[in-house]
A and B are shown apart, each in its own frame.
Chain A
Amino acid sequence: MKFSIDRKSISDVLSLIQGVTNRTTTLAITSDVLIKAEDSQITVTANDLETVFQGQYDADVESDGIISINARKLYEIVREYPENIFPVNEIENRWIEIGEGNIQYHIVSSDHENFPEHPVIEDVPFIEIDTSLLKKMVEISASITYSKEEKRPYVLGALLEYVSDASVDSVALEMAYQTSSSSDVSEKKASSGKSSSSQKSSSTVSDDNPSEDHDTENSLASADNKDKETKSAILRMVSTDSKRLYAFDIPVSGNLEIPEEGIIIPKKGLSELGKFLSTSGKALIGVKNNHFIVKIDNETMMVKLLEGEYPDYRRVLSTTGFTPIIMNRIMFMMMMKRMSILVSDDYKSVIFNFRENELVVTITNPEIGESKEQIAVGYTGNHIESAFNPKYFIDALNAVKGDDVVVHIKDNRNPCILKGHDDKGFVCAIMAMSV
């Protein structure tokens, strides 16, 4: 086998797959990359038995063949190689000669026969999706990490739920509508019931709430209309570590053939997928043969799904009986960052005190000291004291878009539900701590 390829293009792809091939494993060959040269194209494959990447690239192929070579070393060589054309040549006994003229490497390669076979999946019912949205969804979901000894599938993976076309399944859409695009609907119902009182009691809330509801209604209505035109629905990814939970929604068109209860995609694969996805263009996604498949042009990524049950998360996101409070996102985040300075390994809870029109946040770390901040918020109602880990707020506030967020709070046992004021695609639940 002998080929040469543009250094930049092979460098990009090798950089991309390092996450797949650099995993510590007992199966050494999974740190290799498989390169197949054929018909003036090379096919690059990386496979860690869970995530498979495959891409086709134009190359100057002199003779066909397949090699399996250590991905890390190959990438390092490519990175430092001075010429624009990168020549690879299999000489004998699986020795790979890289370079030409003054610079030459001889690298040992493995028997490509041993390279794990990846599932050949054909006729995937792909749907088209906005790449940047998918990237955001995938990255946010992968950002909730887990420890090494973790075994719970709902922590190891994120749930992907597809709610099909309204005309096909209106109930499902209704549910998605309610839970995803915030419980504004239920809130609206609640607030309309007691609208007079809420309007009187709090200027901020009552002023904003109806408008918020109104906006939502509009946006959802418009989305609804659009959905109906293009036969679209909402695709949602849910990620949790049992201490907080994110739900990220994307409107999509077309029909993904996934089971009603959704699929669980390992977060490890999702974070690889996040690197793979660019910030513009369209991607094709599909689910088949127990794999989640993403295809962009000449490159494909397949992630093997996790087995297991995903707990019913909808209950956690319900904001019935909660009080919404609008807060400036940046201000709230800065406050949490200042609070988290006093957090230590064994003490990481910040106490939130919601009182009439004010929020007082305190942290008292017995070893370091204490801190207190007070801000005016549009809160009316009984005094609520609840404790949270500020890190989770910082993460969530980074994930949400827009200037304002809506914090939903009920008591010291229920989670705090955080939503974007305008960004309806993201909901976060943060569980309370008890001190």
Chain B
Amino acid sequence: MPDIRILPETISNKIAAGEVVERPVSVVKELIENALDAKATSLLIEVSKGGRDLIRVSDNGYGMSKDNALLSIERYATSKIVDDRDIFSIKSFGFRGEALPSIASISRFTLVSRTHDSGHGVKIEIDGGKFINVSDTGAPAGTMVEVKNIYYNTPARRKFLKSVNTEMGHIADSVSAFALAFPDVTFCLNHNGRTVRHFTSSDSMLSRIEKVLGVENSLDRNEPSVFSNHSLSQDSHLNDSDFLVSRHGTGHFSNSERLFPVQFQSGNIIVTGYVGSPFVTRSSGARILLFVNSRVVSDRNIVSAIVRGFKGRIMKGKFPVAAIFLEIPCDEVDVNVHPAKLQVRFVNQGNVFEAVSTAVNEALSRGENSIICEKIDSQPGYCGATDALEVGEEQKTIKNSSLGTKVDYSDLSLFDWEKKHDEPCLDDDHDSGLWQDCNVPHYENDELNFHARQNLSDLYDSINAMDRSMAVEQCASETEQKYDCETGEQDSSETVEQYTSETGDQYSSETGKDYDSKSGSQSSDEPFISLKPEGQFAAQKSGDRFLSKIPDKGRDSSFFASLNIIGQLFGTYIVAQFKDKMVLIDQHAAHERVVFEKLKKRSISFRPPSQRLIVPETLELNYRESALLEKIMKGLSTLGIEVEPFGDNTFVIKSIPGIIDNKVIKPLLMDILDMLLTSGVEDDFFEEKNHTSLKNSVVESFGGRDWLDDILILISCHNAVRANHSLRSEEIKALMQELDSCQAPFHCPHGRPLIVEFSRREIEKSFKRTG
């Protein structure tokens, strides 16, 4: 046996490079992260030949002194952590001290850096890990790293490089993702001297997301499409090479109804971002961008949580587009899992899953409600915008009068975040400005176009309604919370009530006692780990606080009822006119949705009767499965499945839900277990509270109820009116009214759309009336 030796540093760096620098985009990622950790506000990324020839990242960050610069290229040298405690609460991107030496070991590497207070910069040249030269040089403040001829000395790795377009696609995606996470930072990506991505710091969050997700209006930008069905084919061309298409400057606003803002908090998990309309789907999750504490990650569980949030709105096997930001205390997430830190691990996987899927689901419901809330006879003109203005002012007044100086929105990290991210729809301080800046002038320009005006006002309404409802809730919850904490402030609650009565009764149910009781019950049955009174989350005092809820009660829903029904087509589709659009509604799908929601509501309201079995079914499980089953037994029994342990890893099923008493129970239970196992909640144990069983809500949200939904879908399918069945106008009207009261009225329970539209322009185009 040969002797064991310690490897020379050049070799160990190359080995590390194998992990860290998987492909050119890894270099870009590491360098951008370094720049961001150095608090740069403007980044220029220059790439040639997909990164094979050159990657150069220049920033305007702190810069490094000569000594620091020399140290930085040493292995395990970092400024980002100091002692071992820091590893468990990492706030910076990097911390391992591996990136620069690794990159330097496999390329011709040049680093130029100057601190702001230094007169001259330092330049370090390294060639394939060999130190070549260090010299003083003139340079702008900040750091520039140049990586040439990547993998020139590792031919094996070079062979794995894909085409220029593919590599560049990855780089463009990576830069775009950073641009979303850091909306204040200017990013400019040049490829072979051409600008392919440019995000200025003045871009709004929304416009950046639009650019990155590629969610653009399909046919006509002037016509906000409520449920555009055309987008499927239009958007699906996006692929790795689409970086060549510059998306810069498409700052139209009408995407708002295609991107629904997500705003949710559960315990110390904050979920924000945007999800695309369910009508925009992809066949892979590639357009789902995930950020955990501003770090781009890929996490299958969160993706599936998002998909679950879309359940009933998209078809199986389809993925939505989304940009989701998770804020979670640093000590509840482990980023030190993956060398490139693409994966993270959560202490409480289940809570994260639940928070994300609930957040997405609520965002969709809210978005759809806002469409429903549109009135067909909405007044034309500025009313939408002025409403928004008024509301904005009113809210400020309330804030001042009721909460005084004690509550400042900026106290709360969430609102901090919003400000930081300049998210117009969510920040009520901003929204009046937004509408003035953006919409109103636009509207005036289009004044001659009647249709455009109509559409615009619709859109105002829809967004305002959405906006308003959220704002009111936020305001109410803030007030309420404060009121709870600091008793004696009678004024505040009164003001809230007064305010809500002014804004119309549709939101009244969200405030006051109602909200109180809801949030109360919410917090009682969800034993989230209590907040750590440290860091950025210190400002939050109460455990659970929903920033936004679905305004499901008393909502002024008249979208479907307000459709001008023209008739029935093929005995199958309802033809209607909505403003200047022709709308087709699949009567079977529509009725299916109505029946399904009724059944579902019912199934939640009472515990399903369960049928005891003469011959209990035995289940032989492996260790993991049985440990999990033990934990969910209680939750299952509330769904009508009674399971008892039968020694070792064997269990017996004693009774089954009455609704499926002619189904075979074993595969169904195994499905539930599998779903829970893959979602990773099995490790969520609340030992400090001696919880030996998983929360019911977790069991349910992870598919414990899926079988029930499937059954209900089947029943509703059988009970719904069929195609080729003529309906009387009264029947159609009744159906439309019932649709209005549905939670997800635009999709049948299987996720297929139940409504499609054809714009007047499209029709006129077909008749060659317009170009």
Contacts and interface: CB of A to CB of B under 8 A. Distances in A.
Interface stretch (A84-92, A148-156, A298-306): A148-156
A389 interface: yes
Interface string A147-176: 101111010000000000000000000000
Given A147-B664, A348-B661, 19 more contacts: A147-B662, A240-B614, A243-B614, A244-B614, A345-B715, A346-B658, A346-B715, A347-B608, A347-B658, A349-B609, A349-B658, A366-B605, A413-B612, A431-B611, A433-B610, A433-B611, A433-B655, A434-B609, A434-B610
Interface in B234-281: none
Nearest to B663: A147
Given A346-B599, A435-B609, A154 B659 contact: no
Contact of A432 (B602, B608, B612, B659): B612
A243 to B, nearest CB: 6
Interface string B615-630: 1010000000000000
Interface in B596-651: 599, 602-603, 605-615, 617, 642
Nearest to A430: B614
Contact of A311 (B611, B615, B658, B662): B615
Contact of A243 (B607, B659, B661): B661
Nearest to A149: B664
Nearest to A349: B609
The secondary-structure label for the interface of chain B is mixed
Nearest to A347: B609
A429 B663 CA distance: 20
A346 B603 contact: yes
Nearest to B708: A346
20 contacts: A147-B664, A241-B662, A242-B615, A243-B612, A311-B615, A346-B659, A346-B715, A347-B608, A349-B658, A367-B602, A389-B658, A415-B614, A431-B611, A433-B610, A433-B612, A433-B655, A433-B658, A434-B609, A434-B642, A435-B609
Contacts of A149: 663-664
Interface in B656-684: 658-659, 661-664
Most buried by B among A147, A387, A429, A433: A433
Contact of B611 (A154, A243, A245): A243
Contact of A151 (B607, B642, B664): B664
Contacts of B617: 242
Interface in A381-427: 387, 389, 413, 415
Given A147-B664, A346-B599, A242 B614 contact: yes
Interface residues of B, number: 26
B614 A245 contact: yes
A256 to B, nearest CB: 25
B717 to A, nearest CB: 12
Contacts of A245: 614
Contacts of B662: 146-147, 241
Given A345-B715, A347-B658, A349-B658, A434 B663 contact: no
B220 to A, nearest CB: 45
B134 to A, nearest CB: 74
Contact of A150 (B602, B606, B661, B664): B664
Contacts of A244: 614
A151 B609 CA distance: 24
Nearest to B658: A348
Contacts of A311: 615
B614 A387 contact: no
A240 to B, nearest CB: 6
B619 to A, nearest CB: 13
A152 B612 CA distance: 17
Interface of B: 599, 602-603, 605-615, 617, 642, 655, 658-659, 661-664, 711-712, 715
A313 interface: yes
Nearest to A432: B612
Contacts of A154: 615
A431 B606 contact: no
Contact of A316 (B599, B607, B614, B658): B614
Contacts of B615: 152, 154, 240, 242, 311
A181 to B, nearest CB: 21
Nearest to A435: B609
What 10 pairs between A and B have smallest CB-CB spacing?
A349-B609, A431-B612, A346-B659, A311-B615, A242-B613, A147-B662, A435-B609, A433-B609, A242-B615, A242-B614
Interface string A2-42: 00000000000000000000000000000000000000000
B325 to A, nearest CB: 40
Interface string A230-262: 000000000011111100000000000000000
Contacts of A367: 602
A433 B658 CA distance: 8
Contacts of B612: 243, 413, 415, 431-434
A21 to B, nearest CB: 27
A349 B657 CA distance: 11
A435 B610 CA distance: 6
B283 to A, nearest CB: 30
Contact of B655 (A147, A151, A240, A434): A434
A147 B387 CA distance: 59
Contacts of B663: 147, 149
A240 B612 CA distance: 13
A82 B177 CA distance: 82
Interface string A104-127: 000000000000000000000000
A371 B537 CA distance: 55
A12 B611 CA distance: 42
Most buried by A among B609, B613, B711: B609
A432 B611 CA distance: 6
Interface string A329-365: 0000000000000000111110000000000000000
Contacts of B611: 243, 389, 431, 433
A348 B609 contact: yes
A348 to B, nearest CB: 5
Given A147-B664, A240-B615, A366 B610 contact: no
Contacts of A151: 664
Contact of A345 (B606, B614, B659, B664): B659
Given A240-B614, A243-B661, A245-B614, A366 B602 contact: yes
A281 B612 CA distance: 41
